[in-house]
Structure 1
Amino acid sequence: MPWNRWYYPAGSLSQSDKDTIAKGITDIYAERYPRHSTLVVFIEIPADSFYRGGERTKGFHRITLQHMSGSYNVKELENDARMRFRGVWKPFVEDRGHAYELQIEEIPSPQISFDNYISHHILAEPLYEEMCKKDEIFKVKLVPE
């Protein structure tokens, strides 16, 4: 389940911009994942709260792409981030003169478990079913019979 967090200074993205960016990012992921599994979260930060090198800076965006281990080859993701994902956000960031930083996070396999999904209210059925087939976890009934 791709989880994208986008920190941006207040006023630098409109609702229409965010809609377009989220759709563009989801379109790329939809080539390998169900559309509903892609999460894009925009986190607005007061424009005077970004600091770089101890100095206040304007127009800085921080984009984080987070993936479960094995869900996306990291080298392929890095290449896609440089080329395809960048093409989605370039008109809204670089072309407007904003600086940005991209971070790619991979959650290691041992941290992935059905319990993590339950505790965060996210149920990833395909992963859960696959883990059950491999006897990596036991089936849990969420609703008493």
Structure 2
Amino acid sequence: MPLWKIYHPEDAFDESDKRALSERITALYNRLPRFYVGVIFQPVADHSFYVGGEPRRDFVRIWIDHIARTLPDADMRTRWIALCDEALAPFIKERGFSWEYHIDETSHELWSIEGFRPPLAGTADEARWIQENRPSPVLPR
């Protein structure tokens, strides 16, 4: 599961922006079942977001949780950050917002979806989840 929590000014994104950005984010994870990817848009009211003790009306903060996969080496992390920057640019950078994001990684062993333990990467169970786009029982590990 990747879960993206996007904290943004109230008027930063309309419904079509949210759909398009969530589709771009989902596309980043093209080796995972699409239903793994969650995106939450959390508008922040004026004078409710402070950076350095000062209110900001032009700031977008993104918190990304990764569980399905981790980024095990510096090269992969560098490439991933570049892909994320590219996906976000039309909605954030090119609109003049300041932004920041970070990625937390959680152990795959501490994850459950609808009572099922998600399959390991590259397994037949994972291929089935991708095809069906839903969780279902997996073979014992």
Return the TM-score normalized by structure 1.
Answer: 0.73
Secondary structure of the 1:49 match is: coil
What is residue 48 of structure 2 aligned with on the other side? 49
Whether 1:129 and 2:128 are equivalent positions in the alignment is: no
- Measured against aligned partners, the alpha-carbon deviations of 1:46-101 in whole angstroms (never above 9, x if no partner) come to 13211011111121101112112x713254245312x2121121111111111011
1:96-116, Cα deviation, whole Å (9 max, x unpaired) = 111011111011356x15xxx
- 2: CA distance between counterparts of 1:11 and 1:53? 22
Superposition map of 1:1-145 within 5 A:
1-30=1-30, 32-68=31-67, 71-74=69-72, 75=74, 76-81=76-81, 83-108=82-107, 112-113=110-111, 117=112, 121=114, 123-126=116-119, 129=138, 132-133=140-141
1:109-143 Cα offsets, whole Å, 9 max, x none, are 56x15xxx37xx5645425736x32xxxxxxxxxx
User: Gaps (5+ residues) in structure 1?
Assistant: 134-145
From the superposition, tell whether residues 107 and 125 of structure 1 become closer, same or farther in structure 2 (CA, over 3 Å): closer
Runs in 1 of length 4+ with deviation above 6 angstroms?
none
Q: Which amino acid aligns with 2:20?
A: T
SS at match of 2:25: helix
Between the two proteins, what is the percent identity of the paired residues? 28
Aligned partners of 1:47 and 1:92: how far apart in 2? Answer: 19
Unpaired runs of 5+ residues, structure 2, are 121-136
> Aligned-pair RMSD on alpha carbons?
2.3
- Asked which structure has the greater CA Rg, the reply is 1
Is the Cα–Cα contact under 8 Å of residues 6 and 64 in structure 1 kept in the other structure?
Answer: yes
Name the SS of the counterpart of 2:94 in structure 1: helix
Higher helix share: 1
8 Å CA contact 2:62–2:101 kept in 1: the answer is yes
Structure-2-length-normalised TM-score: 0.75
**Cα distance between partner residues in 2 of 1:72 and 1:10:** 32
- Partners of 2:96 and 2:55 lie apart in 1 by 16
